[in-house]
């Protein structure tokens, strides 16, 4: 057994050297993952950008709202808690300056019907942008597993709070928005 000892040292050294070289070479030549895959929908991380179409055909990007507090809310027309929280969101939209606060509602259109969405918007008198997630890609990127799901995003684009489920009360909405505004309202 002792006569094999020097060979094991050489074999171990060769394996470690090859492994280190492999890591260096692959790191140098493999492309970096796309930027969007480096964003995580978690508190303290930058909110992943999204680009969706509104009910009236305009394209909206989350990055367009930098400098504002943003409530990003995922919902569907058939969801009872979503129905219950919409009046509070509309009230908040009316009371906060548009240059400071934005509510973006992302409809899970891949789980909903266009007619029901349009009726919902009219019934609740929604004036904030309703974005259509027709293929579920944005809901997947934000790891939405329950409706409603709400992300409170600060002026720098960082997620500050995530609430799964609902309905959100108007008092909670105002408290979180005021906190993100720094009480400057």
How far apart are alpha carbons 129 and 136 in whole angstroms?
Answer: 18
How far is the CA of 25 from the CAs of 16, 30, 34, in angstroms? 14, 9, 20
Domain ranges of the chain: 1-30, 35-181
**CATH pick for 35-181 out of 3.40.50.1170, 3.30.420.40, 3.40.30.10, 3.50.40.10:** 3.40.30.10
DSSP 130: E
Query: Does the CA dihedral 12-17-23-25 come out positive or negative?
Result: negative
Query: What digits encode the pLDDT tens for the residues 113-156?
Result: 999 999 999 999 999 999 999 999 999 999 998 999 999 999 99
Res. 36 pLDDT band, cuts 50 70 90: very low
pLDDT greater at residue 148 or residue 4: 148
Closest listed residue to residue 158, CA positions, set 69, 34, 56: 69
Share of the chain above pLDDT 70, in %: 81
Closest listed residue to residue 108, CA positions, set 83, 84, 131: 131
Stated pTM of the model: 0.77
């Amino acid at each position: 057994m002792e006569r094999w000892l020097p060979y094991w040292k050489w074999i171990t050294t060769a394996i470690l050297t090859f492994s280190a070289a492999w890591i260096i070479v692959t790191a140098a030549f493999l492309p970096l993952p796309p930027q969007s895959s480096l964003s995580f929908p978690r508190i303290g991380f930058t909110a992943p950008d999204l680009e969706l179409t509104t009910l009236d055909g305009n394209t909206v990007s989350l990055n367009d709202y930098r400098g504002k507090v943003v409530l990003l809310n995922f919902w569907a027309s058939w969801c009872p808690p979503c129905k219950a929280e919409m009046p509070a969101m509309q009230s908040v939209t009316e009371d906060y300056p548009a240059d400071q606060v934005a509510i973006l509602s992302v409809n899970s259109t891949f789980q909903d019907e266009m007619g029901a969405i349009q009726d919902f918007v009219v019934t609740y008198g929604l004036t904030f942008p309703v974005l259509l997630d027709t293929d579920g890609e944005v809901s997947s990127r934000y790891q939405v597993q329950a409706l409603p799901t709400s992300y409170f995003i600060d002026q720098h684009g960082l997620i500050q709070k995530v609430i799964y489920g609902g309905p959100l009360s108007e008092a909670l909405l105002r408290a979180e928005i005021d906190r993100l505004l720094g009480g400057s309202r």
